[in-house]
Homo-oligomer: A and B are copies of this chain.
Amino acid sequence: MENKFNIRNERNLTMLVDFYELTMGNGYLNKNLQNKIAYFDMFFRRVPDGGGYCIMAGVEQLIEYLNNLRFTDDDIIYLKNKNIFSEDFLKYLKDFKFNCDVWAVPEGNPVFPNEPLVTVKGPVIQAQLVETMILLTINHQTLIATKANRICRAAGNRPVMEFGSRRAQGYDGAIYGARAAIIGGCDSTACTISDKMFNIPAIGTMAHSWVQLFDNEYEAFKSWAELYPDNCLLLIDTYNVIKSGIPNAIKVFDEILKPLGKRPTGIRIDSGDITYLTKQCRKMLDEAGYEDCKIVVSNSLDEHIIRDVIDQGACVDSFGVGERLITAKSEPVFGGVYKLVAIENDNDLIPKIKISENDEKITNPGFKKIIRIFDKSSHKALADLIALKNEHINESKPLTIFDPVHTWKRKKLTNYYTKELQVQLFNNGNCIYNSPSVLDIRDFAKIETDKLWPEVLRFENPHNYYVDLSENLWSLKHSLLHKYTKSYETQE
Query: Could you list which residues of chain A lie within 8 angstroms of chain B, going by C-beta atoms?
Result: 5, 11, 13, 15-24, 26-27, 30-31, 33, 36, 38, 40, 74-75, 77-78, 84, 124, 128, 131-132, 135-136, 139-140, 143-144, 163, 165-177, 190-193, 195-196, 202-210, 212-213, 223-224, 227-228, 231, 237-240, 243-244, 247, 271-272, 323-324, 327-329, 332-336, 338-340, 343, 352-358, 361, 484, 487-488, 491-492
Contact = CB atoms under 8 A, between A and B. Distances in A.
A203 B144 CA distance: 29
Nearest to A74: B5
13 contacts: A18-B191, A20-B204, A20-B205, A23-B206, A31-B223, A78-B196, A167-B334, A168-B170, A169-B332, A170-B170, A170-B177, A208-B340, A327-B333
B165 A16 contact: yes
Contact of A357 (B84, B136, B144, B240): B240
B213 A40 contact: no
Contacts of A192: 15-19, 22
Contacts of A30: 227
Max count, chain B CB within 10 A of own CB: residue among A5, A165, A244: A165
Nearest to A201: B19
Nearest to A14: B193
Contact of A124 (B144, B213, B271, B272): B213
A167 B213 contact: no
A195 B340 CA distance: 27
Contacts of A176: 170
Contacts of A143: 169
Name the 8 nearest CB pairs between A and B, nearest first. A19-B204, A170-B172, A20-B204, A135-B166, A169-B169, A15-B193, A332-B332, A209-B340
Given A13-B193, A169-B177, 6 more contacts: A18-B191, A22-B192, A132-B174, A135-B167, A169-B173, A329-B333
Max count, chain B CB within 10 A of own CB: residue among A172, A231, A243: A172
A104 B77 CA distance: 35
A19 to B, nearest CB: 3
Contacts of A328: 169, 332
Contacts of A340: 208-209, 212-213
A195 B328 CA distance: 28
A358 B207 contact: no
Contact of A172 (B131, B171, B196, B333): B171
Contacts of A205: 20, 23
Contacts of A334: 167
Contact of A332 (B24, B139, B203, B327): B327
Contact of A361 (B24, B271, B323, B492): B271
B238 A171 contact: no
Nearest to A19: B204
Contacts of A247: 491
Contacts of A190: 18-20
Nearest to A247: B491
Contacts of A491: 243-244, 247
Contacts of A228: 23, 27, 84
Contacts of A324: 333
A120 to B, nearest CB: 11
Nearest to A30: B227
A168 B193 contact: no
Contact of A168 (B124, B140, B231): B140
